[in-house]
Amino acid sequence: MNSMDVNNAMDDRKKRRRLIAGVLFTVYFAVLFYFLFFSEKMGRTYSERAYHYNLVPLKEIMRFIRYRKVLGTYAVVLNLVGNIIAFMPFGTFLPIYYERCRKLRYTVLYSFELSLVVEILQLVFKVGSLDVDDLILNTIGGLFGFLVYELVKQFIRKTTERKKHDD
């Protein structure tokens, strides 16, 4: 196999990976959108009663930690860890599609911006609640997702180098 064939095969693999990631990214957004705006189980129903919001950083996080025995482990994990995990795919997929986002600062910035848009939409449409702590947790999730992207990228690079060396 000549070098042109090898390059074409590598380009095909990259295109296939990008297509699969694109499908997964689209599915992720659909599921995220559903849970953030429509899931009754997550308390996402329109409410005419007084809307609550939190603009004090770490207030709700500390409340969940302080009252974890009363609220239950499930509620604490769902709120704190769930907000982080919900945005990890965003931080992982974003650098695959946008070269600019292969820099940590951009992925973190866009994770924050997406979270801010979500929180504002929840306020406007009165589903869920606007919470600055969600901004913090979601942004951390985007950061962790970027770190996953970097780890996978390094793993692929090392595997590819090993294969080249073995041949």
Residue 47 sits at the vertex; the CA angle it makes with 139 and 71, to the nearest 5 degrees, is: 60
pLDDT at 112: 98
Rounded distance, CA 34 to CA 137, Å? 19
Q: Which residues contact 141 (CB under 8 A, 6 or more apart)?
A: 83, 84, 85, 86, 87, 88, 90, 91, 111
Domain ranges for the chain, please list them.
3-166
pLDDT at 99: 87
Residue type, 69: K
Mean per-residue pLDDT pooled into runs of 10, the chain (167 residues): 67 84 91 87 64 90 94 92 96 90 96 96 87 97 98 92 78
Query: Which pTM was predicted?
Result: 0.85
